[in-house]
Amino acid sequence: MKVGFIGLGIMGKPMSINLVKAGYDVIVNTHNEKTMNELVELGAKKALTAKDVANYADVIITMVPNSPQVREVCLGRNGIIEGAHEGLTVIDMSSIDPVESKAIGEELAKVGIDFMDAPVSGGEPKAIDGTLSVMAGGKKETFDKYYDLLMHMASSVTYCGNLGSGNVAKLANQVIVAINIAAVSEALTLAKKLGADPEVVYKAIRGGLAGSTVLDAKAPMMINHNFKPGFRIDLHIKDLNNALNAAHAVNGYLPLTANLMEVMQSLKNEGFGVEDHSAIARFYERNAKISLEKEEE
């Protein structure tokens, strides 16, 4: 199977590396020539355009920032659509607006290209070790055909329904993750303000009902003030914006999400948008006039 991979950023690069390591014939394309060359050294081929990827591949994975980039890669000049051929499938693993997933899929279908949305959760660490969670939407037969391919990048691959359903699940995931990080920030800030050690409080509650993957992943980052991005605030803002837009389109109401969007925008305006979303803690630290950072002994 010849696999195309377009978009080699924080997530796409390790995901594509895992496919190369799994023995797939991989051809890559991204804006970063240095990154492409790194993949070539590992055994991949490189293409100058998305059209070139389409001409070569049986299936193409796209992993780009947002809806406009997916549309450009798929439907733009020198895009995938210009390299359409019988049997070609596109699996978009970006996190985008589900309405756009459907619209792009409809355009590709006109030239015989099958399209599936399959966004991921887990951030850079899980992209590196191949344990992402994948939420897929599209034709069930397409999902079944490429299940094994997706499992080389993930520990969980779930079929969610028709095209767009994967991104609906991802939006729900991102709402829960963002609000959970904010809750952890708020709780640990309260603990510190009341004179308790945030690290001790974290260890005390992690085995109870408050325990979660988010708590275990993000509390230590807050306590160590390690905000190296696994998933940047800027990207989470994009996801919450997509969630709010999708909700408003169906007269939905997301008050907690809307409030947290303002918190993230505040951090972005202060220059923290490039940091990990665990840096939401900075907002609470600033307003409480304390730091969660562990004091040196």
Q: Catalytic residue positions?
A: 170
Residue 143: half-sphere exposure toward Cβ, Cα within 13 Å: 18
225 phi/psi in degrees, rounded to 5 = 50, 45
Task: Count the neighbouring beta carbons within 10 Å of the beta carbon of residue 251.
Answer: 6
User: Quick one: which H or E segment has residue 234?
Assistant: helix 233-249
- Tell me the C-alpha to C-alpha distance, in Å, between residue 278 and each of 136, 141, 154, 178, 290: 26, 38, 23, 9, 16
Secondary structure class of 220 (helix, strand, coil): helix
DSSP alpha helices (H): ranges in 50-91?
50-56, 67-75
Structure tokens at 119: 């966004």
CA 57 – CA 6 distance, rounded (Å): 11
Q: Which residues of 257-284 are buried (b: 16+ CB within 10 A; e: fewer)?
A: beebbebbeebbeeebbebbbbbbbbbb
CA 272 – CA 235 distance, rounded (Å): 12
Secondary structure class of 159 (helix, strand, coil): strand
Structure tokens at 216: 């275990």
Contact 70, 62 (CB under 8 A): yes
CA angle 276, 62, 14 (to 5 degrees): 50
